[in-house]
Protein backbone atom coordinates (compact mmCIF):
# COMPACT_ATOMS: atom_id res chain seq x y z
CA UNK A 1 0.00 0.00 0.00
CA UNK A 2 1.45 3.34 -1.06
CA UNK A 3 1.09 6.55 0.90
CA UNK A 4 -0.81 9.31 -0.89
CA UNK A 5 1.32 12.29 -1.84
CA UNK A 6 0.68 15.41 0.27
CA UNK A 7 -1.50 18.07 -1.32
CA UNK A 8 -0.12 21.02 0.66
CA UNK A 9 2.51 21.96 3.25
CA UNK A 10 -0.07 21.49 6.01
CA UNK A 11 -0.91 18.04 4.66
CA UNK A 12 2.80 17.14 4.66
CA UNK A 13 3.33 18.39 8.23
CA UNK A 14 0.41 16.30 9.49
CA UNK A 15 2.31 13.18 8.45
CA UNK A 16 5.50 14.15 10.27
CA UNK A 17 6.38 12.28 13.48
CA UNK A 18 6.76 14.28 16.69
CA UNK A 19 10.56 14.19 16.71
CA UNK A 20 10.71 15.69 13.22
CA UNK A 21 8.29 18.45 14.16
CA UNK A 22 10.42 19.16 17.23
CA UNK A 23 13.52 19.54 15.03
CA UNK A 24 11.61 21.99 12.81
CA UNK A 25 10.69 24.13 15.82
CA UNK A 26 14.29 24.05 17.03
CA UNK A 27 15.58 25.13 13.61
CA UNK A 28 12.88 27.82 13.23
CA UNK A 29 12.05 28.86 16.82
CA UNK A 30 9.79 31.71 15.72
CA UNK A 31 7.25 29.08 14.63
CA UNK A 32 6.78 27.94 18.23
CA UNK A 33 5.67 31.28 19.71
CA UNK A 34 2.92 30.83 20.68
CA UNK A 35 2.66 27.06 20.43
CA UNK A 36 0.68 26.27 17.23
CA UNK A 37 -2.56 24.40 17.87
CA UNK A 38 -2.49 22.31 14.68
CA UNK A 39 -0.55 21.57 11.50
CA UNK A 40 -2.56 24.11 9.53
CA UNK A 41 -1.50 26.97 11.79
CA UNK A 42 2.10 25.74 11.79
CA UNK A 43 2.12 25.63 7.98
CA UNK A 44 0.65 29.12 7.80
CA UNK A 45 3.41 30.50 10.06
CA UNK A 46 6.11 28.61 8.17
CA UNK A 47 4.90 30.18 4.92
CA UNK A 48 4.83 33.77 6.22
CA UNK A 49 7.33 36.08 4.53
CA UNK A 50 8.97 37.23 7.76
CA UNK A 51 9.54 33.67 8.98
CA UNK A 52 10.82 32.59 5.57
CA UNK A 53 13.34 35.46 5.53
CA UNK A 54 14.64 34.37 8.92
CA UNK A 55 14.92 30.75 7.81
CA UNK A 56 16.76 31.68 4.60
CA UNK A 57 19.44 33.47 6.63
CA UNK A 58 20.69 30.04 7.75
CA UNK A 59 20.46 28.24 4.40
CA UNK A 60 23.82 27.50 2.75
CA UNK A 61 24.75 28.26 -0.86
CA UNK A 62 24.04 24.77 -2.15
CA UNK A 63 20.52 24.66 -0.72
CA UNK A 64 19.89 28.25 -1.72
CA UNK A 65 20.75 27.39 -5.32
CA UNK A 66 18.15 24.61 -5.26
CA UNK A 67 15.54 27.04 -3.95
CA UNK A 68 16.43 29.47 -6.73
CA UNK A 69 16.02 26.65 -9.25
CA UNK A 70 12.53 25.97 -7.93
CA UNK A 71 11.77 29.70 -7.79
CA UNK A 72 12.60 29.97 -11.48
CA UNK A 73 9.76 27.55 -12.23
CA UNK A 74 6.11 28.44 -11.83
CA UNK A 75 5.19 24.94 -10.72
CA UNK A 76 6.58 21.82 -9.01
CA UNK A 77 9.63 20.17 -10.53
CA UNK A 78 12.09 17.33 -9.89
CA UNK A 79 15.55 17.93 -8.47
CA UNK A 80 18.72 15.98 -9.37
CA UNK A 81 19.35 12.81 -7.35
CA UNK A 82 22.75 14.23 -6.43
CA UNK A 83 20.94 16.94 -4.48
CA UNK A 84 18.65 14.58 -2.56
CA UNK A 85 20.32 15.30 0.78
CA UNK A 86 20.14 19.07 0.25
CA UNK A 87 16.48 18.81 -0.75
CA UNK A 88 15.78 16.76 2.38
CA UNK A 89 17.37 19.51 4.47
CA UNK A 90 15.10 22.12 2.88
CA UNK A 91 12.09 19.89 3.48
CA UNK A 92 13.07 19.59 7.15
CA UNK A 93 12.97 23.41 7.30
CA UNK A 94 9.47 23.39 5.73
CA UNK A 95 10.69 25.51 2.81
CA UNK A 96 9.72 22.86 0.26
CA UNK A 97 7.34 19.92 0.38
CA UNK A 98 6.18 17.05 -1.78
CA UNK A 99 9.22 14.87 -2.39
CA UNK A 100 10.19 12.65 -5.32
CA UNK A 101 9.35 12.93 -8.16
CA UNK A 102 8.39 16.60 -7.79
CA UNK A 103 9.11 19.19 -5.15
CA UNK A 104 6.83 22.13 -4.39
CA UNK A 105 8.22 25.45 -3.22
CA UNK A 106 6.44 27.22 -0.38
CA UNK A 107 4.88 30.21 -2.15
CA UNK A 108 6.38 32.97 -0.05
CA UNK A 109 9.88 31.57 -0.61
CA UNK A 110 9.55 32.41 -4.29
CA UNK A 111 8.38 35.91 -3.42
CA UNK A 112 11.26 36.50 -1.01
CA UNK A 113 13.88 35.19 -3.44
CA UNK A 114 12.64 37.10 -6.48
CA UNK A 115 11.20 40.37 -5.13
CA UNK A 116 13.64 43.22 -5.51
CA UNK A 117 16.30 41.03 -7.13
CA UNK A 118 15.96 42.47 -10.64
CA UNK A 119 14.94 39.07 -12.03
CA UNK A 120 12.44 38.70 -14.84
CA UNK A 121 9.61 36.19 -15.03
CA UNK A 122 10.08 32.48 -15.83
CA UNK A 123 10.39 31.63 -19.50
CA UNK A 124 7.23 29.48 -19.35
CA UNK A 125 5.24 32.60 -18.45
CA UNK A 126 6.92 34.75 -21.10
CA UNK A 127 6.31 32.21 -23.87
CA UNK A 128 2.74 31.39 -22.85
CA UNK A 129 1.28 33.47 -25.72
CA UNK A 130 3.73 32.13 -28.33
CA UNK A 131 1.69 30.07 -30.75
CA UNK A 132 1.69 29.25 -34.44
CA UNK A 133 4.60 30.66 -36.45
CA UNK A 134 6.25 32.34 -33.43
CA UNK A 135 6.42 29.03 -31.56
CA UNK A 136 7.56 27.20 -34.68
CA UNK A 137 10.45 29.61 -35.29
CA UNK A 138 11.76 29.06 -31.75
CA UNK A 139 11.42 25.29 -32.03
CA UNK A 140 13.38 25.30 -35.30
CA UNK A 141 16.11 27.54 -33.85
CA UNK A 142 16.60 25.28 -30.81
CA UNK A 143 15.98 21.95 -32.50
CA UNK A 144 13.01 21.29 -30.23
CA UNK A 145 9.79 19.43 -30.96
CA UNK A 146 6.78 20.81 -29.15
CA UNK A 147 6.41 23.36 -26.36
CA UNK A 148 7.54 20.99 -23.58
CA UNK A 149 10.87 20.25 -25.26
CA UNK A 150 11.34 23.93 -26.06
CA UNK A 151 10.83 24.90 -22.41
CA UNK A 152 13.21 22.15 -21.33
CA UNK A 153 15.94 23.66 -23.54
CA UNK A 154 15.30 27.15 -22.15
CA UNK A 155 15.23 26.12 -18.48
CA UNK A 156 18.19 23.72 -18.39
CA UNK A 157 21.31 25.63 -17.20
CA UNK A 158 23.69 23.63 -19.40
CA UNK A 159 21.53 24.25 -22.47
CA UNK A 160 21.36 27.98 -21.71
CA UNK A 161 25.14 28.15 -21.27
CA UNK A 162 25.66 26.40 -24.60
CA UNK A 163 23.43 28.96 -26.34
CA UNK A 164 25.21 31.88 -24.66
CA UNK A 165 28.59 30.46 -25.70
CA UNK A 166 27.45 30.71 -29.34
CA UNK A 167 26.33 34.33 -28.94
CA UNK A 168 28.72 37.06 -30.00
CA UNK A 169 30.39 39.46 -27.55
CA UNK A 170 27.74 42.15 -28.10
CA UNK A 171 24.88 39.75 -27.43
CA UNK A 172 26.61 38.43 -24.31
CA UNK A 173 27.12 42.00 -23.06
CA UNK A 174 23.40 42.74 -23.52
CA UNK A 175 22.42 39.64 -21.54
CA UNK A 176 24.91 40.48 -18.78
CA UNK A 177 23.51 44.01 -18.44
CA UNK A 178 19.89 42.82 -18.21
CA UNK A 179 20.84 39.98 -15.84
CA UNK A 180 22.14 42.55 -13.36
CA UNK A 181 18.65 44.11 -13.40
CA UNK A 182 16.26 45.48 -14.27
CA UNK A 183 15.49 42.74 -16.83
CA UNK A 184 13.80 44.98 -19.41
CA UNK A 185 15.03 46.55 -22.62
CA UNK A 186 13.58 48.55 -25.49
CA UNK A 187 13.34 47.55 -29.16
CA UNK A 188 11.00 48.58 -31.95
CA UNK A 189 8.74 45.73 -33.03
CA UNK A 190 10.01 43.64 -30.10
CA UNK A 191 7.46 40.85 -30.52
CA UNK A 192 8.61 40.04 -34.04
CA UNK A 193 10.72 36.89 -34.36
CA UNK A 194 13.23 36.65 -37.20
CA UNK A 195 14.20 33.45 -39.04
CA UNK A 196 17.82 32.49 -38.38
CA UNK A 197 19.00 33.40 -41.87
CA UNK A 198 17.50 36.89 -41.52
CA UNK A 199 18.95 37.84 -38.13
CA UNK A 200 20.62 41.25 -38.47
CA UNK A 201 21.55 42.29 -34.91
CA UNK A 202 22.68 40.81 -31.55
CA UNK A 203 19.27 41.53 -30.00
CA UNK A 204 17.45 39.75 -32.85
CA UNK A 205 19.85 36.81 -32.40
CA UNK A 206 18.85 36.53 -28.73
CA UNK A 207 15.13 36.91 -29.55
CA UNK A 208 15.30 34.21 -32.18
CA UNK A 209 16.59 31.71 -29.61
CA UNK A 210 14.32 32.61 -26.68
CA UNK A 211 17.12 34.16 -24.62
CA UNK A 212 15.16 37.40 -24.80
CA UNK A 213 11.38 37.61 -25.15
CA UNK A 214 9.31 40.49 -26.56
CA UNK A 215 6.44 41.19 -24.18
CA UNK A 216 4.88 44.04 -26.17
CA UNK A 217 5.65 46.02 -29.32
CA UNK A 218 8.64 47.84 -27.79
CA UNK A 219 9.67 45.99 -24.60
CA UNK A 220 12.01 43.02 -24.12
CA UNK A 221 12.34 40.88 -20.99
CA UNK A 222 15.18 38.59 -19.97
CA UNK A 223 13.82 35.25 -18.68
CA UNK A 224 14.60 34.48 -15.06
CA UNK A 225 16.39 31.23 -15.92
CA UNK A 226 18.85 33.02 -18.22
CA UNK A 227 19.61 35.67 -15.60
CA UNK A 228 20.28 33.05 -12.92
CA UNK A 229 22.77 31.28 -15.17
CA UNK A 230 24.58 34.53 -16.00
CA UNK A 231 24.66 35.55 -12.33
CA UNK A 232 26.14 32.20 -11.36
CA UNK A 233 23.00 30.81 -9.73
CA UNK A 234 21.68 28.21 -9.49
CA UNK A 235 25.10 27.01 -10.56
CA UNK A 236 26.41 28.13 -7.14
CA UNK A 237 29.29 26.34 -5.50
CA UNK A 238 28.14 22.87 -4.46
CA UNK A 239 30.93 22.38 -1.95
CA UNK A 240 31.93 24.57 0.95
CA UNK A 241 35.21 26.49 0.52
CA UNK A 242 38.12 24.92 2.35
CA UNK A 243 39.06 26.43 5.70
CA UNK A 244 42.75 26.93 5.01
CA UNK A 245 45.09 27.35 7.97
CA UNK A 246 48.78 27.91 8.66
CA UNK A 247 50.79 26.45 11.52
CA UNK A 248 51.91 28.94 14.15
CA UNK A 249 52.20 26.90 17.34
CA UNK A 250 50.14 26.78 20.51
CA UNK A 251 52.72 28.54 22.67
CA UNK A 252 53.14 31.48 20.29
CA UNK A 253 49.39 31.93 19.92
CA UNK A 254 48.79 31.68 23.67
CA UNK A 255 51.56 34.15 24.54
CA UNK A 256 50.26 36.72 22.08
CA UNK A 257 46.65 36.27 23.21
CA UNK A 258 47.55 36.45 26.90
CA UNK A 259 49.45 39.69 26.30
CA UNK A 260 46.34 41.22 24.69
CA UNK A 261 44.09 39.86 27.45
CA UNK A 262 46.23 41.49 30.15
CA UNK A 263 46.32 44.73 28.19
CA UNK A 264 42.52 44.79 27.84
CA UNK A 265 42.04 44.32 31.60
CA UNK A 266 44.50 47.11 32.37
CA UNK A 267 42.93 49.51 29.88
CA UNK A 268 39.38 48.92 31.15
CA UNK A 269 40.60 49.55 34.70
CA UNK A 270 42.39 52.74 33.67
CA UNK A 271 39.38 53.99 31.69
CA UNK A 272 36.86 53.45 34.47
CA UNK A 273 39.17 54.84 37.15
CA UNK A 274 39.49 58.05 35.14
CA UNK A 275 35.71 58.21 34.63
CA UNK A 276 35.26 57.83 38.39
CA UNK A 277 37.03 61.17 38.82
CA UNK A 278 35.76 62.91 35.70
CA UNK A 279 32.61 61.21 34.33
CA UNK A 280 31.46 62.09 30.80
CA UNK A 281 27.89 63.26 30.34
CA UNK A 282 25.16 61.23 28.68
CA UNK A 283 24.01 62.78 25.41
CA UNK A 284 20.44 64.08 25.26
CA UNK A 285 19.76 61.48 22.59
CA UNK A 286 21.56 58.83 24.67
CA UNK A 287 25.08 57.53 24.33
CA UNK A 288 28.57 58.96 24.62
CA UNK A 289 29.69 62.15 22.93
CA UNK A 290 32.29 62.15 20.17
CA UNK A 291 34.64 64.37 22.21
CA UNK A 292 34.49 61.99 25.17
CA UNK A 293 35.25 59.04 22.91
CA UNK A 294 38.21 60.88 21.39
CA UNK A 295 39.50 61.77 24.87
CA UNK A 296 39.20 58.16 26.04
CA UNK A 297 41.12 56.97 22.99
CA UNK A 298 43.85 59.55 23.57
CA UNK A 299 44.16 58.73 27.27
CA UNK A 300 44.48 55.02 26.54
CA UNK A 301 46.74 55.61 23.50
CA UNK A 302 44.50 53.56 21.21
CA UNK A 303 42.26 54.22 18.21
CA UNK A 304 38.69 55.44 18.62
CA UNK A 305 37.17 52.12 17.39
CA UNK A 306 39.31 50.27 19.94
CA UNK A 307 38.15 52.63 22.68
CA UNK A 308 34.52 52.17 21.61
CA UNK A 309 34.96 48.40 21.90
CA UNK A 310 36.33 48.60 25.46
CA UNK A 311 33.60 51.02 26.51
CA UNK A 312 30.85 48.84 25.06
CA UNK A 313 32.28 45.69 26.68
CA UNK A 314 32.55 47.42 30.07
CA UNK A 315 28.92 48.48 29.72
CA UNK A 316 27.86 44.93 28.76
CA UNK A 317 29.73 43.57 31.79
CA UNK A 318 27.69 45.94 34.03
CA UNK A 319 30.86 47.76 35.11
CA UNK A 320 29.55 51.01 33.66
CA UNK A 321 26.14 52.69 33.55
CA UNK A 322 24.47 56.08 33.51
CA UNK A 323 23.44 57.74 36.75
CA UNK A 324 19.70 58.02 37.52
CA UNK A 325 19.66 61.82 37.62
CA UNK A 326 18.16 64.65 35.59
CA UNK A 327 21.53 65.27 33.91
CA UNK A 328 23.02 61.77 33.91
CA UNK A 329 26.71 60.90 33.63
CA UNK A 330 28.51 57.72 32.70
CA UNK A 331 29.97 56.27 35.92
CA UNK A 332 31.43 52.94 37.08
CA UNK A 333 28.91 50.79 38.94
CA UNK A 334 29.37 49.10 42.35
CA UNK A 335 30.18 45.95 40.35
CA UNK A 336 33.37 47.69 39.22
CA UNK A 337 34.73 47.62 42.79
CA UNK A 338 34.00 43.90 43.01
CA UNK A 339 35.63 43.39 39.61
CA UNK A 340 38.80 45.18 40.74
CA UNK A 341 39.16 42.75 43.64
CA UNK A 342 39.27 39.75 41.28
CA UNK A 343 42.52 38.28 39.96
CA UNK A 344 43.40 39.40 36.38
CA UNK A 345 42.32 36.13 34.75
CA UNK A 346 38.83 36.38 36.27
CA UNK A 347 38.52 40.01 35.26
CA UNK A 348 39.29 39.05 31.68
CA UNK A 349 36.83 36.16 31.89
CA UNK A 350 33.98 38.52 32.80
CA UNK A 351 34.85 40.87 29.95
CA UNK A 352 35.08 38.03 27.42
CA UNK A 353 31.76 36.49 28.46
CA UNK A 354 30.07 39.90 28.33
CA UNK A 355 31.38 40.49 24.80
CA UNK A 356 30.25 37.10 23.53
CA UNK A 357 26.69 37.62 24.68
CA UNK A 358 26.10 41.35 24.25
CA UNK A 359 23.39 42.32 21.73
CA UNK A 360 25.39 45.27 20.43
CA UNK A 361 27.78 45.87 17.54
CA UNK A 362 30.65 48.19 18.63
CA UNK A 363 32.02 48.36 15.08
CA UNK A 364 28.98 50.44 14.09
CA UNK A 365 30.10 53.32 16.34
CA UNK A 366 30.91 56.30 14.14
CA UNK A 367 29.11 54.94 11.08
CA UNK A 368 26.19 56.82 9.53
CA UNK A 369 22.57 55.79 9.93
CA UNK A 370 19.70 56.24 7.44
CA UNK A 371 19.45 59.93 8.42
CA UNK A 372 23.20 60.42 7.85
CA UNK A 373 23.71 60.81 11.58
CA UNK A 374 26.80 59.31 13.24
CA UNK A 375 26.04 56.40 15.57
CA UNK A 376 27.28 57.09 19.12
CA UNK A 377 28.90 54.64 21.51
CA UNK A 378 26.57 53.42 24.30
CA UNK A 379 23.52 54.49 22.27
CA UNK A 380 20.62 52.43 21.00
CA UNK A 381 21.91 52.95 17.47
CA UNK A 382 24.39 50.09 17.86
CA UNK A 383 21.87 47.60 19.27
CA UNK A 384 21.83 44.46 17.12
CA UNK A 385 19.79 41.48 18.34
CA UNK A 386 21.67 39.18 15.95
CA UNK A 387 25.13 40.18 17.27
CA UNK A 388 25.56 37.24 19.70
CA UNK A 389 24.65 34.76 16.96
CA UNK A 390 27.02 36.45 14.51
CA UNK A 391 29.85 36.25 17.06
CA UNK A 392 29.17 32.63 17.82
CA UNK A 393 29.26 31.75 14.11
CA UNK A 394 32.76 33.20 13.82
CA UNK A 395 33.95 31.65 17.08
CA UNK A 396 32.53 28.22 16.22
CA UNK A 397 34.35 28.37 12.90
CA UNK A 398 37.61 29.19 14.70
CA UNK A 399 36.96 26.22 16.99
CA UNK A 400 36.96 24.00 13.89
CA UNK A 401 40.65 24.76 13.40
CA UNK A 402 43.31 22.76 15.20
CA UNK A 403 45.07 24.21 18.21
CA UNK A 404 48.16 26.12 17.11
CA UNK A 405 46.70 26.91 13.67
CA UNK A 406 46.08 30.44 12.34
CA UNK A 407 43.35 31.24 9.84
CA UNK A 408 43.09 34.21 7.49
CA UNK A 409 40.28 36.73 7.54
CA UNK A 410 39.58 36.05 3.86
CA UNK A 411 39.05 32.34 4.54
CA UNK A 412 36.67 32.97 7.44
CA UNK A 413 34.62 35.43 5.39
CA UNK A 414 34.34 33.09 2.37
CA UNK A 415 33.32 30.05 4.43
CA UNK A 416 30.69 31.94 6.41
CA UNK A 417 29.37 33.57 3.22
CA UNK A 418 28.90 30.09 1.71
CA UNK A 419 27.19 28.75 4.83
CA UNK A 420 24.71 31.64 4.96
CA UNK A 421 24.76 33.75 1.76
CA UNK A 422 21.73 35.83 2.78
CA UNK A 423 22.73 36.55 6.38
CA UNK A 424 23.75 40.11 7.17
CA UNK A 425 22.55 41.51 3.82
CA UNK A 426 24.99 44.22 2.64
CA UNK A 427 27.06 43.79 5.81
CA UNK A 428 27.47 40.05 5.28
CA UNK A 429 31.21 40.11 4.61
CA UNK A 430 31.98 43.03 6.92
CA UNK A 431 30.51 41.54 10.10
CA UNK A 432 32.91 38.54 10.28
CA UNK A 433 35.83 40.90 9.65
CA UNK A 434 34.70 43.18 12.47
CA UNK A 435 34.28 40.25 14.82
CA UNK A 436 37.71 38.82 14.00
CA UNK A 437 39.23 42.21 14.85
CA UNK A 438 37.43 42.21 18.20
CA UNK A 439 38.50 38.61 18.89
CA UNK A 440 42.13 39.68 18.50
CA UNK A 441 41.74 42.98 20.37
CA UNK A 442 40.15 41.28 23.40
CA UNK A 443 42.78 38.57 23.63
CA UNK A 444 40.71 35.59 22.55
CA UNK A 445 43.15 35.01 19.72
CA UNK A 446 46.81 35.67 19.07
CA UNK A 447 48.63 35.77 15.76
CA UNK A 448 45.33 34.95 14.00
CA UNK A 449 44.86 31.71 15.93
CA UNK A 450 42.37 30.89 18.70
CA UNK A 451 44.11 30.56 22.07
CA UNK A 452 43.91 27.44 24.20
CA UNK A 453 42.23 29.31 27.08
CA UNK A 454 39.62 30.73 24.68
CA UNK A 455 38.86 27.23 23.42
CA UNK A 456 38.16 26.17 27.00
CA UNK A 457 35.93 29.20 27.53
CA UNK A 458 33.93 28.57 24.35
CA UNK A 459 33.49 24.91 25.30
CA UNK A 460 31.92 25.97 28.60
CA UNK A 461 34.91 25.31 30.86
CA UNK A 462 35.20 28.76 32.42
CA UNK A 463 37.33 27.85 35.44
CA UNK A 464 39.75 25.82 33.32
CA UNK A 465 40.01 28.79 30.95
CA UNK A 466 40.83 31.14 33.84
CA UNK A 467 43.50 28.79 35.18
CA UNK A 468 45.04 28.38 31.73
CA UNK A 469 45.22 32.15 31.29
CA UNK A 470 46.61 32.65 34.82
CA UNK A 471 49.59 30.43 33.99
CA UNK A 472 50.35 32.64 30.98
CA UNK A 473 50.14 36.01 32.72
CA UNK A 474 53.15 37.63 34.37
CA UNK A 475 53.25 37.63 38.15
CA UNK A 476 51.51 40.75 39.54
CA UNK A 477 53.76 43.32 41.22
CA UNK A 478 52.57 43.91 44.81
CA UNK A 479 55.48 46.06 46.09
CA UNK A 480 57.87 48.81 45.02
CA UNK A 481 61.50 48.88 46.10
CA UNK A 482 62.90 52.37 46.63
CA UNK A 483 66.68 52.81 46.77
Cβ–Cβ under 8 Å, residues 163 and 209: yes
- First CA to last CA distance, the chain: 97
- 53-81 pLDDT, tens digit per residue, is 999 999 998 898 888 878 876 677 777 77
Please give the pLDDT value at position 76. 78
Spans of the chain below 70 pLDDT? 1-3, 73-74, 116-117, 232-238, 476-481, 483
- Residue 37 half-sphere exposure, CB side, CA atoms within 13 Å? 0
Residue 380 DSSP symbol: G
Cβ–Cβ under 8 Å, residues 240 and 418: yes
Please give the pLDDT value at position 338. 98
* Cα 124 from chain centre: 32
Cβ–Cβ under 8 Å, residues 392 and 356: yes
pTM score above 0.75: yes
Q: Is 351 exposed, middle or buried (0-12, 13-18, 19+ CB in 10 A)?
A: buried
* Cα 232 from chain centre: 18
Please give the pLDDT value at position 195. 87
- 454-469 pLDDT, tens digit per residue, is 999 999 999 999 999 9
With the CA atoms of 291, 293, 294 and 298 taken in that order, what torsion angle do they form, in degrees rounded to the nearest 10? Answer: 140
Q: How far apart are CA 386 and CA 359, in angstroms?
A: 7
Q: How far apart are CA 379 and CA 293, in angstroms?
A: 13
Please give the pLDDT value at position 235. 43
Give strand pairing partners of 77. Answer: 103
For every residue of 288-326, DSSP letters joined together read B-HHHHHHHHHHHTS-HHHHHHHHHHHHHTTSEEE-SSS
Please give the pLDDT value at position 236. 45
Residues 6+ apart with CB under 8 A from 378: 282, 286, 287, 288, 311, 312, 315, 330
Q: How far apart are CA 274 and CA 268, in angstroms?
A: 10
Please give the pLDDT value at position 239. 84
Distances (CA, A) of 333 to 276, 278, 290, 345: 9, 14, 22, 20
Q: How far apart are CA 292 and CA 208, in angstroms?
A: 67
Q: How far apart are CA 115 and CA 295, in angstroms?
A: 46
As a whole number of angstroms, the longest Cα–Cα distance in the chain is: 107
Q: How far apart are CA 134 and CA 128, in angstroms?
A: 11
- Residue 211 half-sphere exposure, CB side, CA atoms within 13 Å? 32
Amino acid sequence: MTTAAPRSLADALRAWPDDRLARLLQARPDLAVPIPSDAGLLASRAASSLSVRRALENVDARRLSLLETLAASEGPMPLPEADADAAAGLEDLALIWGGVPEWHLVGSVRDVLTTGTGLGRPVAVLLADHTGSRLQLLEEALGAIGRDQLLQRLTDPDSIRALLDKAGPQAQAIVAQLAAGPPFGKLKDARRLTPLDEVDSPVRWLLSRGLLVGIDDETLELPREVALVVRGAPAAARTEPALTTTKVGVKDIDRAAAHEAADVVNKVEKLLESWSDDPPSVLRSGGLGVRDLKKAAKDLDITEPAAALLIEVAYAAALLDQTPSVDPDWLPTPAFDRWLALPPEDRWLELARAWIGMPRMPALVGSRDERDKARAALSQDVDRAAAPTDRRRVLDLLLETRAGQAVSEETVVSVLAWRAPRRGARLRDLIPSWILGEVAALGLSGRAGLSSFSRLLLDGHDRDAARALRDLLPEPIDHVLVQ
